[in-house]
Chains A and B, each alone.
Chain A
């Protein structure tokens, strides 16, 4: 199968929805299992204790407050986690589009709920997953009533925004341009890796080259839809490789799934522009 033929497969919004939904589902299954495995962090003595966190949330009417307490307290949040796991796993294995549509709408609602509940400690992958779920949910709702595929264009736009912002904010930063920032990041115990630090800390030229590769890749990502088929596929392949390296070196495992879940929508946007 040639590259053009493979890209053409993403001309069908149903295919794009299915591919994005599976990638989002895998990422969210992992993320939710991780949260379940450290569920004590959600209770007293953890980093997300509701009795302390409720002190800084906005006041709500009594009925809403009751719902919030029930959902965000000890047993309630565990129930929400189980529901989130069910929705994410359903996205991965759903054999029909209606089932995947119901699951993605439920997952979008649950991810927005968790964004409120986990005030600190949401990483960019969690934030992007919310956007992916919202975009796919919007697509699913429109599709039920015969509306347009705006949710998929939204996903492509959010991918461009995320990479573009990351790239522009690095290119204006002298610490990134001269490679210093990359050395700092890999040197951290929490986010770096000793083997990566050993290879980069003493090699300023390699740091500069790698920093500029990251900067150019991120800045130029939004322009990928203007390239020919081979070009856009190459950009996405480089993006995947970048996220895999980041996952190994920095332990940011869910970034891979969250960002790659937007790639089918990028190919959908490419098809809309070129066909």
Chain B
């Protein structure tokens, strides 16, 4: 008896979950953002389609000295060059995979906040990216920092990189940015 009850409940639950996942495949990006992922139990399996990303994203840091002079930009290292061993062990992707959804959400929010550009500094994606660049080493003369999101066209050298997003300049918190 209990086996039958558990079997019926489980079957109904799994059919409902499958139906929810099936429906989820048809949502576009806006619809996905508006609906919860049901504790991560709904996901989309389009796998780089219909339009895959053509560009790599780079997080770039620009430091400012105590006199306000900017220093040369430098990239926060995230993506190592491909090695065959990545087929077995690739922890580095755990650092850069979040970058694209973070930037997509940041730019989407930025567009929605058109009349209030400063409000973007209070959004979660902005705060996450600011935290990442603030944790990068800085020498003692650095007083402020800003970050840029730049996209480049992979291994195509003829296509120049372009800036997608430029943050405000933030005073550097010396407790998180250790002297490098």
Which residues in A have some Cβ–Cβ distance to B below 8 Å? 30, 33-35, 37-38, 41, 44-49, 52-53, 55-56, 111-112, 114-116, 118, 120-124, 127-128, 130-131, 134-135, 138, 141-142, 145-148, 150-151, 154, 157-158, 161-163, 165-166, 169-170, 172-173, 175-176, 181, 184-185, 187-194, 197, 201, 218, 244, 247-253, 256
Contacts and interface: CB of A to CB of B under 8 A. Distances in A.
Contact of B155 (A38, A116, A146, A194): A194
B127 A52 contact: yes
Given A120-B101, A145-B2, A56 B124 contact: yes
B44 A251 contact: no
Contact of A181 (B25, B48, B89, B152): B48
A130 B40 contact: yes
A47 B128 contact: yes
Nearest to B55: A188
A130 B43 CA distance: 10
B118 interface: no
A115 B40 contact: yes
A189 B155 contact: yes
B22 A193 contact: no
B125 to A, nearest CB: 8
B78 to A, nearest CB: 8
Q: Give chain A's interface secondary structure class.
A: helix
A138 B7 CA distance: 9
14 contacts: A38-B94, A47-B128, A53-B128, A112-B41, A115-B39, A121-B101, A128-B45, A150-B11, A158-B21, A189-B152, A189-B154, A190-B96, A197-B154, A248-B84
A247 B2 CA distance: 44
B69 interface: no
B171 interface: no
A175 B10 CA distance: 41
B156 A187 contact: yes
B179 interface: no
Contact of A121 (B11, B43, B82, B97): B97
Contacts of A145: 2-3, 6-7
A53 B101 CA distance: 14
Contacts of A122: 40, 43, 97
B34 interface: no
